[in-house]
Amino acid sequence: MTPIKYHQLIRIEKAKEMIRYSRTPLKEIACLFGYENIHSFSRTFRQVEGVSPSYYRPRHQADRI
C-alpha cells in the first residue's frame, strides 16, 4: 500500500466514525477531513467502502441516534 493510499484509508476510517456517531452533515465531514467538496469525498468513500456515505450512514449509525 502506498503512503497516499494509507493516508486516504485513515481519513475515510475517521470519517466513518464521525458518520456513525454524529449527525454532522456529510458536506461538513468532507471538509473536516480535507476534501474540497462532497463529490470527491463521496467518490473516495465509495472506492474504499463500496457504498456512498449517504447510503452508509442510516445503515451503520450507532444506536440510531
Domain ranges for the chain, please list them: 3-64
Asked if 33 and 11 touch (Cβ cutoff 8 Å), the reply is yes
Residue 26, pLDDT > 60, answer yes
First to last CA, the chain: 35
Here the cell at position 5 is: 493510499
Q: Are 48 and 21 in contact (CB under 8 A)?
A: no
Residue 53 C-alpha cell reads as 456515505
Residue range 32-55, pLDDT digits in tens: 999 999 999 999 999 999 999 999
- Yes or no: domain 3-64 corresponds to CATH 1.10.10.60: yes
> What pLDDT, on the 0 to 100 scale, is given for residue 64?
58
Mean pLDDT, all residues of the chain: 93
Q: Stretch 5-27: mean pLDDT, rounded?
A: 96
- The answer to whether residues 61 and 19 touch, using CB atoms and an 8 Å cutoff, is yes
